[in-house]
Amino acid sequence: MKVFVRFDYHVVCKRVLEAQLEELKIPYKLNGIGEIELASDLKKEKREELIERLAFYGIEIIQDEKDVLVQRIKDIIAEMIQDSDENKTYNTSTLLSKKLNYSYSYLSSIFSEVTYSSIENFVILKKIDYAKELMSSNDSLTLTEIAHRLQYSSVAHLSGQFKKITGLTPSSFQRIMSKRRERV
């Protein structure tokens, strides 16, 4: 028997962090996606135990400043694409500059240096991932609704990027997903 599940990575990660920090009795405050404010510095043993526990779930503590900034950029983009309608009124460069208090050229430079890719490419990849998630869900959204939700100017624009990234048209992808669901 197969069971298909859908989950929000952000919620799952938040729950894991909360559980581990509470088990270790570490006072904390979650400051949005990917940022934890600890009430005090951790002793070496406690820090190592936290690192080990989080590693079990595929979560790592980032220590390099550039890596931290890149992760914050990725988190803001993911939130922009999936969550907040408020953020969609901004273009990516304005939103990142506003939220991180750096110029977009600086953010773009650091992102490219660390990831060997551009912020624009990352945005496209995240949009296509989210489009696949929306097409795979049972919400029965049309391609027009998905294109609108992801701020594409047209279905053709979404379809072009989708095919370029996945090698499939959105319609082909939907048919494949439909056939997979039928087998269950």
Domain boundaries, the chain: 9-61, 66-183
* Paired tokens of 145: 């609704």
pLDDT tens-digit profile of 81-114? 987 464 566 689 999 999 999 999 999 999 999 9
Q: For residue 79, what are the contacts with CB-CB under 8 A and spacing of at least 6?
A: 10, 33, 87
pLDDT value for 5 = 78
CA distance 116 to 101: 22
Task: Summarize the confidence of residues 157-174 as an average pLDDT.
Answer: 93
pTM over 0.75: no
pLDDT value for 89 = 62
Q: For residue 5, what are the contacts with CB-CB under 8 A and spacing of at least 6?
A: none
Classify 115 as helix, strand or coil.
helix
pLDDT tens-digit profile of 137-164? 766 788 999 998 898 999 999 999 999 9
CA distance 115 to 180: 34
Per DSSP, 51 falls in state: H
Classify 27 as helix, strand or coil.
coil
Task: Report which of 90, 92, 103, 169 is spatially closest to residue 126, judged by C-alpha positions.
Answer: 92
The CATH T-level fold of domain 66-183 is Arc Repressor Mutant, subunit A (1.10.10)
CA distance 143 to 156: 10
